[in-house]
Structure 1
Amino acid sequence: MLSYSPVFQVDDENLGKSENSMRLGTVVPNFKAQTTDGPIEFYDWQGDSWVLIFSHPADFTPVCTTEIGHIAAHTDEFKKRNTKIIAHSVDRLKTHHDWIDDIKSYCSNVPEKFPFPIIADTTRELAVQFNMIAEEDRHNDETAQSVRALFIIGPDHKVRLSMYYPNSAGRNLDEIIRALDSLQLTEKLKVVATPANWTPGTKVMILPHVSDIEAEKLFPGGIDKVSMPSGGNYIRTTEKY
């Protein structure tokens, strides 16, 4: 098996700097990494899929065990949405594999063949590039654990969503999938946004820059308008999309 550290190949000299690298809309640099499924080069591995990247402070941590197990048991939901999953930790491949055995033992419905790779970022280069730890901490093995970050990357390699969680709060899979559905819908229908607590099939909001005439042409099935005390005409929704 090849053994090489994550290497970033960027054209823009500022793109790889940690303070910029994972802002919304930023192109994720191509990188090479060791994973539990073998070495990958990110762009080749991603192909034309969406990607969910999520990091963990360390192997054999209780909350992260439940998260990885829960996501592993529901990978079909991501496959339906043309989305690949990859996890990240700064621990070694050996402990990753041992941890996977624990995850399969503890969590129900995890496939025998674990369904996604876990990156072994032992040099912490990737963690620094993705704003998961500070550069000045990266060489301290005891304290330089990656924070619990989650990113959704579009097929164009751009960051579409980021979430950061404290170690005490486990991620909510339903919210991750709901946010992914929203991203994919608004990518397809660029004139709408999804409101608070939106779920697929419920009303979406028509963006303010779309005129009423344009909106009626785009959504002939019907538009609901709300009169606001300010006189503004910015609350327009439709279920027919």
Structure 2
Amino acid sequence: MEANVETQKVITMPRIGDTAPDFEAVTTKGNIKMSEFAKDKWTVMFSHPADFTPVCTTEMSGFAQRKEEFDALNTELLGLSIDSIHAHLGWVQNVRENTGVYFDFPIIADLDMKVSKLYGMLQPNESETAAVRAVFFIDPSKKIRLIMYYPLNIGRNMDEILRALDALQMSDKHKVAMPLDWKRGDKAICSAPKTLEALNERLADDSVEKVTWYLAKKNI
């Protein structure tokens, strides 16, 4: 008797440190190719389950209302859902007419689910036809630096998205790590010593705040 084999669905899930998978897509601001999008800038790419839905409207409005903060961090926004370009345009106009908020960033029309599947945004145990609320932080070299996933019924936290983006950029710039709840103006964490020589140098360094020899903070 042949053994029963349960077929499992394999979901592509890009990981932190991976190069952002390339694709071409139609958006509300024209066609894009991911590998050529936002040259010399960071990208925050985020998916939402569907146009003309309440939680998604609050989230997209949040990105739009705080777009200047992303601009200040040299970052382009890129939205996505499994809807047509016509649905996107209609939703953008509907929200603008009713709230005055304008989604002035590209939103990918992913009707064939190509991009959603490529980035692991379509997760069958949550929904077969709607993308979860994923957020990908992609640096100028097109490396994925941070990933957030939220379920369909829970909206994202815009403060945390901006905080994490700022932390990534400041960490790169100053070659430091960031502690719990770090925000701009807080001290950053120095790398822990890796040799006895470096340990002795750390102990003698009065320019940093030493909690203990392996945990030291400094202003940046």
TM-score between both structures, scaled by the size of structure 2: 0.86
Q: Who is 1:207 aligned against?
A: 191
Is 1:238 aligned to 2:218, yes or no?
yes
Q: Who is 1:4 aligned against?
A: none
Quote the Cα distance in structure 1 between the aligned partners of 2:206 and 2:29. Answer: 47
Segments of 4+ in structure 1 off by > 4 A?
212-217
Q: Who is 1:115 aligned against?
A: 104
Q: What amino acid is the match of 2:65?
A: A
1:128-139 equivalent positions in 2, closer than 5 A: 128-134=117-123
Q: Structure 1's 98 and 145: CA in aligned 2 closer, same or farther, altered over 3 A?
A: same
The superposition leaves residues 92-143 of structure 1 with CA deviations (integer Å, 9 ceiling, x where unpaired) of 00010111122223445x34xx420100011001110100115xx6xxxx94
Q: Who is 1:19 aligned against?
A: 12
Is contact 2:84–2:110 with CA below 8 Å preserved after alignment? yes
Segments of 5+ residues of structure 1 without an aligned counterpart are 1-16, 228-232
Is contact 2:193–2:202 with CA below 8 Å preserved after alignment? no
Segments of 5+ residues of structure 2 without an aligned counterpart are 1-9
Q: What amino acid is the match of 2:148?
A: M
Deviation for aligned residue 1:215: 6.0
Identity level (%):
39
Is contact 1:150–1:163 with CA below 8 Å preserved after alignment? yes
TM-score between both structures, scaled by the size of structure 1: 0.79
Deviation for aligned residue 1:216: 9.1
Quote the Cα distance in structure 2 between the aligned partners of 1:38 and 1:214. Answer: 55
Q: Find 1:226's aligned residue among 199, 211, 214.
A: 211
Q: Who is 1:74 aligned against?
A: 66
Quote the Cα distance in structure 1 between the aligned partners of 2:218 and 2:167. Answer: 15
- How many residues are matched? 206
Q: Who is 1:57 aligned against?
A: 49
